[in-house]
């Protein structure tokens, strides 16, 4: 959604903006597209790493944090 609106702003108002503002809109759009790709890949990885016959379980994030680990 951020990528779409950034691209729309650039298309609609790009001619009225200076180079710096256009660059910032480009950064926002590119960053949002990279984030979308990262989330899609993470979802695909989580599906591949979890067998279908094994249900997903909740995890206590406090217990999973490195500060609670002992060596």
Question: Angle at which helices 19-49 and 2-13 pack, to 10 degrees?
Answer: 160
> Which of 42, 23, 21 minimizes the C-alpha distance to 31?
23
pLDDT tens digit sequence for 5-54 = 988 998 999 899 999 999 999 999 999 999 999 999 999 888 887 677 77
pTM higher than 0.75, yes or no? no
Tokens 């994030």 belong to: 61
> Which of 18, 24, 19, 22 minimizes the C-alpha distance to 10?
22
Tell the burial category of 56 from Cβ atoms under 10 Å away from its Cβ (0-12, 13-18, 19+): exposed
């Amino acid at each position: 959604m951020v990528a779409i609106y950034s691209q729309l702003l650039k298309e609609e108002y790009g001619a009225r903006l200076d180079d710096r503002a256009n660059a910032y809109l480009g950064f926002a759009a590119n960053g949002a597209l990279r984030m979308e790709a990262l989330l899609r890949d993470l979802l695909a990885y989580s599906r591949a790493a979890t067998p279908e016959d094994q249900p997903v379980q909740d995890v206590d994030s406090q217990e999973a944090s490195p500060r609670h680990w002992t060596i």
